[in-house]
Amino acid sequence: MARITAIGGIFIRSPDPKALAAWYGDKLGLNIEDWGGALLPVNSDGPPHGVWSPFEQSTKYFEPSSREVMINFAVDDLSAYLAQIEAKGVKVLGREDHGPVGLFAWVMDPDGTKIEFWQPHRSK
Protein backbone atom coordinates (compact mmCIF):
# COMPACT_ATOMS: atom_id res chain seq x y z
CA MET A 1 0.00 0.00 0.00
CA ALA A 2 1.25 3.50 -0.83
CA ARG A 3 1.86 5.78 2.16
CA ILE A 4 3.08 9.22 3.17
CA THR A 5 6.80 9.10 3.94
CA ALA A 6 7.68 12.61 5.15
CA ILE A 7 6.55 16.20 5.46
CA GLY A 8 7.13 17.47 1.94
CA GLY A 9 6.92 21.19 2.57
CA ILE A 10 5.45 24.16 4.36
CA PHE A 11 3.57 26.62 2.17
CA ILE A 12 2.37 30.00 3.41
CA ARG A 13 0.24 32.66 1.72
CA SER A 14 1.65 36.15 2.12
CA PRO A 15 0.78 39.64 0.87
CA ASP A 16 4.52 40.04 0.08
CA PRO A 17 6.17 36.63 -0.47
CA LYS A 18 9.57 38.11 -1.40
CA ALA A 19 9.74 40.20 1.77
CA LEU A 20 8.61 37.25 3.90
CA ALA A 21 11.24 34.98 2.31
CA ALA A 22 13.88 37.65 2.95
CA TRP A 23 12.86 37.83 6.64
CA TYR A 24 13.12 34.03 7.03
CA GLY A 25 16.53 34.15 5.36
CA ASP A 26 17.92 37.17 7.20
CA LYS A 27 16.41 36.67 10.64
CA LEU A 28 16.04 32.88 10.94
CA GLY A 29 18.93 31.79 8.73
CA LEU A 30 17.08 29.78 6.10
CA ASN A 31 19.01 29.53 2.85
CA ILE A 32 16.52 31.10 0.43
CA GLU A 33 16.96 29.69 -3.07
CA ASP A 34 16.58 31.65 -6.33
CA TRP A 35 13.05 30.26 -6.75
CA GLY A 36 12.00 31.94 -3.47
CA GLY A 37 11.87 29.05 -0.99
CA ALA A 38 14.27 27.02 1.13
CA LEU A 39 15.20 23.35 1.13
CA LEU A 40 15.13 21.83 4.61
CA PRO A 41 17.47 18.85 4.55
CA VAL A 42 16.72 15.74 6.55
CA ASN A 43 19.83 14.65 8.42
CA SER A 44 20.90 12.51 11.33
CA ASP A 45 21.48 15.55 13.58
CA GLY A 46 17.78 16.35 13.72
CA PRO A 47 14.82 14.50 15.16
CA PRO A 48 14.00 11.13 13.61
CA HIS A 49 10.64 12.40 12.37
CA GLY A 50 8.48 15.45 11.77
CA VAL A 51 5.06 15.85 13.33
CA TRP A 52 1.66 16.45 11.77
CA SER A 53 -1.02 17.27 14.32
CA PRO A 54 -4.43 18.93 14.10
CA PHE A 55 -5.50 21.21 16.95
CA GLU A 56 -8.99 22.14 18.14
CA GLN A 57 -10.31 25.31 16.46
CA SER A 58 -10.48 26.93 19.92
CA THR A 59 -6.82 26.22 20.81
CA LYS A 60 -4.90 29.02 22.47
CA TYR A 61 -1.56 27.35 21.59
CA PHE A 62 -1.16 29.40 18.37
CA GLU A 63 -1.71 32.75 20.16
CA PRO A 64 -0.93 35.55 19.69
CA SER A 65 -1.28 34.51 16.03
CA SER A 66 -4.74 34.39 14.48
CA ARG A 67 -3.46 32.33 11.55
CA GLU A 68 -4.68 28.79 10.85
CA VAL A 69 -1.17 27.31 10.90
CA MET A 70 1.91 27.31 13.11
CA ILE A 71 5.36 26.27 11.87
CA ASN A 72 7.73 24.17 13.98
CA PHE A 73 11.45 24.10 13.18
CA ALA A 74 13.77 21.69 14.98
CA VAL A 75 17.05 23.26 16.13
CA ASP A 76 20.23 21.73 17.50
CA ASP A 77 20.90 24.27 20.30
CA LEU A 78 17.86 26.33 21.29
CA SER A 79 19.68 28.80 23.56
CA ALA A 80 22.38 29.56 20.99
CA TYR A 81 19.83 29.82 18.16
CA LEU A 82 17.64 32.22 20.14
CA ALA A 83 20.66 34.39 20.96
CA GLN A 84 21.45 34.57 17.22
CA ILE A 85 17.95 35.63 16.17
CA GLU A 86 17.47 38.02 19.10
CA ALA A 87 20.69 39.76 17.98
CA LYS A 88 18.89 40.31 14.66
CA GLY A 89 15.93 41.95 16.38
CA VAL A 90 13.57 38.98 16.57
CA LYS A 91 11.45 39.04 19.76
CA VAL A 92 11.14 35.69 21.53
CA LEU A 93 7.61 35.28 22.91
CA GLY A 94 8.47 32.59 25.43
CA ARG A 95 10.39 29.42 26.25
CA GLU A 96 9.35 26.17 27.91
CA ASP A 97 10.84 22.83 28.82
CA HIS A 98 8.39 20.06 27.99
CA GLY A 99 10.20 17.31 29.87
CA PRO A 100 11.07 14.30 27.73
CA VAL A 101 9.76 15.95 24.54
CA GLY A 102 12.33 18.77 24.60
CA LEU A 103 12.80 22.51 24.80
CA PHE A 104 10.52 24.95 22.96
CA ALA A 105 10.44 28.67 22.13
CA TRP A 106 8.22 30.87 19.97
CA VAL A 107 8.42 33.95 17.73
CA MET A 108 6.11 35.62 15.21
CA ASP A 109 6.99 36.26 11.57
CA PRO A 110 6.12 39.63 9.94
CA ASP A 111 2.84 38.21 8.56
CA GLY A 112 1.69 37.13 12.04
CA THR A 113 2.44 33.40 11.80
CA LYS A 114 3.64 31.87 15.06
CA ILE A 115 6.86 29.89 14.69
CA GLU A 116 7.87 27.26 17.21
CA PHE A 117 11.47 26.15 17.66
CA TRP A 118 12.05 22.71 19.17
CA GLN A 119 15.25 21.22 20.57
CA PRO A 120 14.48 17.54 21.13
CA HIS A 121 16.12 15.95 24.14
CA ARG A 122 18.87 13.61 22.99
CA SER A 123 18.44 9.91 23.73
CA LYS A 124 21.17 8.57 26.00
Which CATH number is 119's domain given? Answer: 3.10.180.10
Is 103 within a domain?
A: yes
User: Which letter does DSSP use for residue 100 in this model?
Assistant: G
Is 118 within a domain?
A: yes
Q: Which amino acid is at 80?
A: A
Q: What is the mean pLDDT of the chain?
A: 89
Instruction: For residue 44, name the pLDDT band (cuts at 50, 70, 90).
Output: low
Neighbours of 117 (CB within 10 A): 22
Is 18 within a domain?
A: no
Is 87 within a domain?
A: yes
- Going by C-alpha positions, the residue among 102, 97, 107, 85 that lies closest to residue 48 is 102
Owning domain of residue 118: 68-124
What is residue 2's predicted lDDT score, i.e. its pLDDT? 65
Is 56 within a domain?
A: no
Express each pLDDT in 58-115 by its tens digit. 999 999 999 999 999 999 899 999 999 999 999 999 999 988 889 999 999 999 999 9
What is residue 123's predicted lDDT score, i.e. its pLDDT? 58
What is residue 103's predicted lDDT score, i.e. its pLDDT? 94
Q: How many domains does the chain have?
A: 1
Is 86 within a domain?
A: yes
Q: Judge whether residue 1 has pLDDT over 70.
A: yes
Is 42 within a domain?
A: no
What is residue 20's predicted lDDT score, i.e. its pLDDT? 96
Least confident of 11-20, 43-52, 82-91, 94-103: 43-52
